[in-house]
Structure 1
Amino acid sequence: MSHLISRRNILRGAAAASASVAFYHGTSPRRASAADSPNEKLNIACIGVGGRGAANVSGVRSQNLVAMVDVDEQRASGSLQRFPNARRFTDFRKMFDEIGSSLDAVVISTPDHTHFHPAYTAMQLGLHVYLEKPLAHTVYETRTLCDLAREKKLATQLGAQRHAIPNMHRVVELIQSGAIGKVTEVHSWVGGERGMPPIPTGTPDVPATLDYDLWVGPAKYRPYHPTICPYGWRFWWEYGTGETGNWGCHILDIPYWALGLKTPVRVDAVGPDVDAERTPKSMHVTYRFAETNQGSPVDLHWYHGSPQDVIKKHGVDLKGANTIFVGDQGVLICGFSNRKLYPEEKFADFKAPEPFIPDSPGFYNEWISACKGGEAATCHFGYSGPMAETVLLGNVAYRAGGFDWDAESLQTVGNTAAQNLIQSVYRKGWEIG
């Protein structure tokens, strides 16, 4: 197979500006045939069908699932058994070569470091894309996919499925109706101490059911170890994005939506000493947003680890919470399934606004409908792309220090070390070179 494709330079002279992508050369872009009728089933290929991928496969099971692609036959076995008529592939590139012209859409649920290549290939073929969070492994990859989706007018959805939870709708309505006045700061967090995994010792054999070289794909090669593949990759910079990438697009979705956020102008982060290879067990990122629907700047704080000082400062307590909105007339604390206004005595007789955000028909159904010519899904890349970039910028600031962010040119102004983390260097055969 020939795998050569080129793309214009979107970094406008940045240090990591070169942008020809060497991995696929297929047929010309096409529009999805099922878009001609909302009653037709989409022909969908699912890439990464074990673990989280199995849930995504189930989410689109109402459609015609024509291909299952996975490098790990054992991990994928559940999905393969449930859909025995779907063609099986190990390499997504071979799948696109053989049946790409018959597809309408793809669902991609691979590890973070292998989001970009199949998604970009699919989009070049004019295929609609459902892609797991945090959308891609780097800011450059994220922006590239978002630009291509817009250019080709494709239906997209980021796997931030909690966006469809009704409680999140009610939180957004409270903030946007001015329940706590003008919001000046937000604190969001994920608990736990996952990160900094032990460095593997020994070199166990690669399981016969796993194509490990293909699993590594474009990333730096590291000998196989079961603590990294199939799941521990999340806590290694070469493959994952830590708990910030894992949870950021779910939790920061709440303030992003409520405050109409786009891109920050400043990013700073603090935490434990940086490890060159492994993600941390804790961190605190501060994003400054100059443009919001509040009419003034907002500081958004993200924590890996619960911010007990902030919780105590505002006298709030709500089990399962992950976000505090601080306004000039009160405080709102919320999670995915609960919410409460403070001071309690002030809001004792508060009447919530009439709901104005409609219920979702189902997170996967949103995307399926969009693929067939309906309204855009709620987490289409035009909305979720800037949020995913922001999440990834938090990791960049933690690893390389704070910076002013020029979103248009993807520049970490005055911070060369941070700039070097905006785009990855790929293994031979997978290059952006």
Structure 2
Amino acid sequence: MTSSRITRREALQTTAALGAGLWLGSSAQPTRAAANEKLNVAVIGIGGRGSANLSGVGKTENIVALCDVDEKRAGKAFERYPKAKKYTDYRRMLDDMENQIDAVVVSTPDHTHFHPSMIAMTMGKHLYCEKPMAHSVWEVREMTKLAAKNKLATQLGMQRHALSNMHRAVELIQSGAIGDVSEVYSWVSSSRGMPGQPVKTVPPPKTLDWDLWIGPAKFRPYAVNKKGEGALAPYNWRFWWDYGTGETGNWGCHILDIPFWALDLKYPTRVDASGPKLDAEQTPRDMQTSFAFPANDKRGAIKLHWSQQKGGPAILKEKGLKLKGANNLFIGSKGMLLTGFGSLKLFPEKTFANFKAPEKFIPDSPGFYKEWTDACKGGQPATCNFDYSGPLSETVLLGNTAFRAGGGFDWDASTLTAKGNDNAKQYLFSKFRKGWEEFTS
């Protein structure tokens, strides 16, 4: 379970070459464990969401290395795995442990998904990454391409994909229960965003490596808010464009997973957005986006609406629809399906009073983390592997792009080109600060 030796510097050079559209040298072959062997796993980011991912993978596999820039926040995880080697800098960890690890879990903030993921995959390591995969459309595409090129087992952290209610919702749509679907409304009922400006710059905690936390993104000094809490870390980064992707990135991959799966969606051809006046630094409290998907051999064209909107979209009130926990409304030629992660209901209620659900045809998940670890050992691809979750992540980020660019555009997915809105390009690609393989993608 070893790969050919690639140093950290060589891996970083390869990552930089990707940004210029070039390849330097060859990539390592993926490591494979036998089906009855345990994987040796390294985990990057072990506080917050990372702690849950660590627990999910650590139940069945060997945790051999742990990395976090915040010693205090990571303390409990360090204590749970005393035999694992402990690191602050993932680059040093991957260099030191390359021949001792089979797979890597990345659970850092959005702006630091790309670099560790690309280095690990360049080394031939299988990858589990938190949603929304990366911080820009270009980053997502590069990760998706590299995973496919190196034949790696991947999984994006869309854990709700394993829920039985989602399976049943997908079965209803794919079996034609509401006829031909032409439109979907998806939403997160939230008003989070615009967390306020930092009020005071202070030295970072001694247990936090602030420069590594910032990583390749725009540098800001450590600061606190009115409550005396970190203005960016450990959580408010999510609502700053330089580091996070707002509620759209936070929830979009989970919620849009339902229509993407049910309708076999991939890349949109048109993106539109509207909302409050753009703040150049912080994500909004509400926004509306829409995506046009072309017809395929299974269905007609689809219009997908995504919104961050307290209480959901207006169409719910217009049609008198209610369902606790709902976040998706499918509109078909024979009726409507209102569903969420744990509930579903067909409308009009009279039409479906005696409806009999189709026989189950989507198998139960063996467990979301087990899907990935089995795939790492040569089993079937995990359900949210990058071939599926990459296009979904790109779509989520395209919604943010249109909002930030001040309007819509026609989208050419083959060339990552936004046609009809020159302002969009700056938000589709990434620029990294000096010292982090600075290049223009």
Matched, 1:263 2:271: no
Mapping 1:210-289, distance limit 5 Å: 210-225=208-223, 226-289=230-293
**Which residue in 1 is equivalent to 2:5?**
none
Match of 1:109 among 99, 107, 110: 107
Q: Report deviation, 1:79.
A: 0.8
Write the distance in 1 (CA, Å) between the matches of 2:139 and 2:243: 14
Amino acid at match of 2:30: R
Shift of 1:296: 1.5
Q: CA deviation at 1:309?
A: 1.7
Q: TM-score, normalised by structure 2?
A: 0.93
- Say whether the 8 Å CA contact 1:136–1:142 is kept in structure 2: yes
Paired AA for residue 182 in structure 1: D
Q: Residue 293 of structure 1: CA displacement?
A: 5.9
Could you say which residue in structure 2 is the equivalent of 1:18? Answer: 20
Structure 1: 5+ residue stretches without partners: 11-16
Partner of 2:13: 5
CA contact (8 A) 1:260 1:293 kept: no
SS of residue paired to 1:57: helix
Q: Shift in Å at residue 7 of structure 1?
A: 6.0
SS at match of 2:267: coil
2:166 and 2:359 map into 1 onto residues whose CA distance is: 14
One-letter identity of the residue aligned with 2:275: G
- Residue 408 of structure 1 aligns to which amino acid in structure 2? S
Give the C-alpha shift of residue 31 in structure 1.
2.8
Q: Which residue does 1:13 correspond to in 2?
A: none
2:357 alignment counterpart: 352
Tell whether 2:156 aligns with 1:135.
no
**SS where residue 355 of structure 1 aligns?**
coil
Match of 1:328 in 2: 333
**Aligned AA (1:53):** G
Measure, in 2, the Cα distance between the counterparts of 1:150 and 1:30.
12
**Which whole-Å CA distance do the structure 1 matches of 2:164 and 2:249 have between them?**
24
What is the TM-score normalised by the length of structure 1? 0.94
Cα distance in 2 for partners of 1:9, 1:290 equals 33
Give me the CA root mean square deviation: 1.7
Q: Deviations over 1:43-63 (max 9, x none)?
A: 100000000000000001110
Shift, 1:227, TM fit: 2.1
Aligned counterpart in structure 2 of residue 41 of structure 1, from 38, 41, 55: 38
- Identity value in percent: 57
- The one-letter amino acid paired with 1:403 is F
Q: Is the 1:182–1:294 contact (alpha carbons within 8 Å) kept by the matching residues of 2?
A: no
Contact 2:30/2:150 (8 A) holds in 1? no
In the alignment, the residues of structure 2 paired with residue 133 and residue 96 of structure 1 have an alpha-carbon distance, to the nearest angstrom, of 21
Q: Secondary structure at the match of 2:79?
A: helix
Letter in 2 for 1:175: I
Query: Equivalent residues in 2 for 1:21-420 (5 A)?
Result: 29-34=28-33, 37-61=34-58, 62-225=60-223, 226-292=230-296, 295-305=299-309, 306-400=311-405, 401-420=407-426
Q: Per the alignment, do residues 33 and 375 of structure 1 end up closer, same or farther by CA in structure 2, a change over 3 Å counting?
A: closer
Checking the alignment, whether the CA contact within 8 Å between 2:102 and 2:125 is kept in structure 1 is yes
Once residues 203 and 293 of structure 1 are traced to their aligned partners in structure 2, the CA distance between those partners, rounded to angstroms, is 57
1:263-287 deviation digits (Å, cap 9, x = unpaired) = 0000000000000000000000010
Please state how far the C-alpha of 1:224 moved relative to its aligned partner: 0.8
Q: 8 Å contact 2:41–2:63 — kept in the other structure?
A: yes
Q: Is the Cα–Cα contact under 8 Å of residues 268 and 403 in structure 1 kept in the other structure? A: yes
* CA distance in 2 between partners of 1:339 and 1:205 (Å): 50
Aligned to 1:220, the other structure's residue is in SS state coil
Q: Structure 2: how far apart are the matches of 1:257 and 1:280?
A: 27
